[in-house]
Amino acid sequence: MLVILSVQIFILTMVFLGTLNGQLEICKYTSSGQLIGPTGCYNLTPAFQWIDHCIISIILVFMIAYLPLFLQELVERGTIKAVIRLAKQFGSLSPAFEVFSTQISSHSIITNLTFGGARYIATGRGFATTRISFAILYSRFAGPSIYLGMRTLIELL
* Other CB atoms within 10 A of residue 4 CB: 19
Per-residue pLDDT tens digits for 39-97: 788 888 888 888 889 889 988 888 888 899 899 999 999 999 999 998 998 899 888 78
pLDDT at 84: 93
Last residue within a domain, chosen from 48, 64, 80: 64
Same domain membership, residue 152 and residue 105: yes
Average pLDDT of every residue of the chain: 82
Q: Domain total for the chain?
A: 2
- The answer to the question of residue 105 being in a domain is yes
pLDDT at 4: 76
**pLDDT tops 80 at residue 144:** no
Closest CA to 155 of 45, 12, 4, 34: 12
- The answer to the question of residue 28 being in a domain is yes
- The answer to the question of residue 90 being in a domain is yes
pLDDT at 66: 87
- The answer to the question of residue 119 being in a domain is no
Distance CA 141, CA 149 (A): 11
Same domain membership, residue 46 and residue 20: yes
Per-residue pLDDT tens digits for 28-51: 888 887 878 677 888 888 888 888
Domain that holds residue 35: 1-64
